[in-house]
Amino acid sequence: MMRIFTLSSILILLFLSSCSTLERGESTGVPLVIDTSAGVQVYDLTMTYKDVEFAGILLLNSGAQERNRFVLTSHFGMTVFDLETTAKGYKRHYAIPAMNRKRVLYLLWSDFSILMRPDFFKNIKYSYSEDGKLKSLVRSGSITKTEMSFIEYVDGFPNILEINHPFLKLNIKLKKIENADGVI
């Protein structure tokens, strides 16, 4: 928990430049990396900022009209944040005080929105494997430049997803939890 405090405090200081304007693209046929048709998807999350690390369980759920829900809990049960995509951006249902900062939540929301729909924003470049699977993507930006990579595909979806903000030195690694029926 202390790691979150430290992480968010540093993030706030680093978010000096403004975030990119949201521009939702039309569907471009970019393949999905999250199985949005299969209910709540559960991932083991590790968030690293330099040598500061936080681990938890991320739940992603695709709602009607893209009202996606992103919930992060600690392994010990505490809810860290609960965000929902809306027509105008996102709604914060809950965030622990240390993370309850507009730009921190915006960054997390934009990252997870890209995971739910890789063509969520326009300014993204894609890289594909020979069999047409999405291998990586880069969203240009100033300090919030985003790199994502997707590996270990099983049944058409990657088991390991990595989000990297090189200028922020922030890395988020997601590992799909197998047999999630036993978890939720």
Partner 1 sequence: MKRFSTFIITLAFTLCIAVLPEGVKAQDGRQTLSQAEVTEFTASLKKVSSSINSIESSFTQEKVLQMFSKKMVSQGVFRYRRENKLEFFYKTPMKYRMVINGPRMMIDNGSKVQIISLDNNAVVKEMKTLIQASFLGKLHELGDSYSISYFSERSGDVVVEVLPKIKSVSDMIKKISVTFDSSSFIVSCLVIEEASKSVTTYYFKNQQINTINNDEDFHIK
Residues that bind partner 1 (CB under 8 A): 1-3, 5, 40, 44, 46, 53, 55, 57, 59, 61, 69, 71, 73, 75-79, 82, 93-94, 96-97, 177, 179-180, 182-184
Nearer to partner 1, 27 or 179 (CB): 179
For residue 116, which phi and psi values (nearest 5 degrees)?
A: -70, -30
Nearer to partner 1, 59 or 124 (CB): 59
Closest CA to 106 of 124, 83, 123: 83
Q: How far is the CB of 77 from partner 1 (least distance, A)?
A: 3
For Cα atoms 89, 26, 112, give the angle at the middle one, nearest 5 degrees: 40
Nearer to partner 1, 2 or 16 (CB): 2
Q: How far is the CB of 96 from partner 1 (least distance, A)?
A: 6
Nearer to partner 1, 113 or 144 (CB): 113
Distance CA 184, CA 179 (A): 10
For residue 66, which phi and psi values (nearest 5 degrees)?
A: 60, 30
Strand partners for 158: 153
Q: How far is the CB of 152 from partner 1 (least distance, A)?
A: 16
**Helix (H, G, I), strand (E, B), or coil: what is residue 135?**
strand
Q: How far is the CB of 3 from partner 1 (least distance, A)?
A: 7
Q: Are 96 and 80 in contact (CB under 8 A)?
A: yes
